[in-house]
Amino acid sequence: MHIHPDFLERMRSLLDEEFADFERCLHEPPVIGLRANTLKIDPRSLQRRVIFEMQPVPWCPAGFVIQKEATTKQSAPGKIPEHAAGLYYLQEPSAIAVAEILEPQPGERVLDLAAAPGGKSTHIISLMKNEGLLVSNEIRYQRVWELAENLERWGATNTIITQESPTRLASRLEGFFDRVLVDAPCSGEGMFRKSENARRDWSPELVMSCSVRQKAILSDAARMVRPGGILVYSTCTFSKEENEEVISQLLANNRDFVLEDIKQVAGASSDMPGTLRLMPHRIHGEGHFIASLQREGGMLAESRKPMKRERLPASALESYREFCQGMGISAVPEEHLQISGSYLYKKMELAPDLFGVRVIHPGLWLGTIHHSERNRIRFEPAHALAMALPPQQVQHIAVLDRQAIVEYLKGMPISLPGPDGWVLACMDQYSMGWGKRVKGIVKNYYPRGLRWH
């Protein structure tokens, strides 16, 4: 493993007598972790289901370290039906600490400013119990769709996904959020054990350019925190230029922000009150830095009008209601529905006016309105709706054994007697996706881009 000598000298200066232990740990295998989806499964139940050995993460009741990973491609942690069902998210243990420190509460308005690929957003959703509002933002086009895919699999129902710059978001949403998370783009020093690209791309110049960018992002993020609200800043790097110096500049330029007492993580250290350093030679995880700040003052009076809701065409509304009635599920009331092109969404009640903001999904994607050549309207349910529905709330389900589930995930049709129409494919009590049964054959509607190969 080649590591830039300038990086090693910087770490020697930072760690002093601990440097030898740190350098030794850089050559050890990276730590692999996962976090149970507590919206769907109890962590202990997950531990009994999976085929690889796991030990709890001390700082998160839902977190685990994978002790002995399965060796075959078909049984790897990211390639088993439990993962496809959204029962867990593969996440490095140190990264799991960030949302635990943010401590979002049900009913709050929360922003994850640089959210892809979605690990911290899915954690936030679980802690919020799908109640309140999460705006999950990612500026990069390809990465925002990865974020959307992970939130969909998680069963998120309280989330707006945006693709916007921090500056433009701040201009629309100043003082709007109870909590804001900035998991900032960084030089990636804490990921050296996991990523050859991070080791190859590192340079002192990269550290300085990241620091400049982080200061600008954090400044915009601070504008969106309401008085009395919380701002958490995190990176997966060690440099003070990207960590303590970024926080120091924010405090110097924003006198209404103060570092608050931070939730402790076993084995973490601190060079500044209100911050934590998670170092791989001290804990069972990779490198991370976390800071927690509070904006002083009382609650900001809400002055923004909610986004106007366009009235749905009667035919689209009727088609959606017919589907819900046929499946025995509760239809979303008309006043909470929103149509965007041919896509039908459940609009978030706490949503602000996002006019001028690039919105990927304005809420839970319910399905698509199709117009046939004969001007007939047909509603096709979205995969996001399937993943958000508990099977016990659905009248027509297809409970498949494990072999049939694997065939379903590969996009194959399933032979299953029963009445014609839509069915929710399930593994035990967990939703997997949609199928449509015709004469005893369930046509597969599992999204093509997610299918196993």
Neighbours of 325 (CB within 10 A): 12
Residue 414 pairs in a beta bridge with 442
* CB 173 within 8 Å of CB 224: yes
- Spatial separation of the C-alpha atoms in residues 139 and 358, rounded to whole Å: 9
DSSP letter string over 202-269? --HHHHHHHHHHHHHHHHHHHHTEEEEEEEEEEES---TTTTHHHHHHHHHH-TTEEE------TT-B
- Spatial separation of the C-alpha atoms in residues 89 and 279, rounded to whole Å: 22
Give the tokens for residue 360: 């990927």
Could you give all domains of the chain from N- to C-terminal order, each with its CATH number?
101-295 (3.40.50.150), 310-388 (3.10.450), 389-453 (2.30.130.60)
Give the tokens for residue 238: 């060690």
- Spatial separation of the C-alpha atoms in residues 438 and 416, rounded to whole Å: 10
pLDDT tens for the chain, residues 1 to 453: 789 999 999 999 999 999 999 999 999 999 999 999 999 999 999 999 988 889 999 999 999 999 865 444 456 899 999 999 999 999 999 999 999 999 999 999 999 999 999 999 999 999 999 999 999 999 999 999 999 999 999 999 999 999 999 999 999 999 999 999 999 999 999 999 999 999 999 999 999 999 999 999 999 999 999 999 999 999 999 999 999 999 999 999 999 999 999 999 999 999 999 999 999 999 999 999 999 999 998 655 454 555 555 678 888 999 999 999 999 999 999 999 999 999 999 999 899 999 999 999 999 999 999 987 667 889 999 999 999 999 999 999 999 999 999 999 999 999 999 999 999 999 999 999 999 999 999 999 999 999 998
Phi and psi based region of residue 103 (left: phi greater than 0; alpha: psi -120 to 50; beta: remaining): left
* CB 253 within 8 Å of CB 219: yes
Q: In 3D, which of 358, 355, 360 has the Cα closest to residue 345?
A: 360
DSSP letter for 105, please. -
* CB 119 within 8 Å of CB 308: no
Q: Alpha-carbon Rg of the chain, whole angstroms? A: 23
Determine how β-strand 53-57 pairs with β-strand 60-68.
antiparallel
* CB 337 within 8 Å of CB 344: yes
* CB 189 within 8 Å of CB 15: no
Q: Which of 60, 186, 210, 236 is catalytic?
A: 236
- Spatial separation of the C-alpha atoms in residues 329 and 391, rounded to whole Å: 10
Is 324 among the catalytic positions?
Answer: no
Residue 143 has, within 13 A of its CA and on its CB side, a CA count of 14
DSSP letter for 66, please. E
Neighbours of 157 (CB within 10 A): 19
Question: Which amino acid would we find at residue 157?
Answer: T
In the block, tokens 């350098």 appear at 23
- Beta-carbon contacts of residue 343 (< 8 Å; ≥ 6 apart): 365, 367, 368, 369, 382
- Spatial separation of the C-alpha atoms in residues 376 and 220, rounded to whole Å: 47
Helix axes 141-154, 119-128, angle to 10 degrees: 40
**pLDDT value for 71:** 44
Give the tokens for residue 179: 């909590």
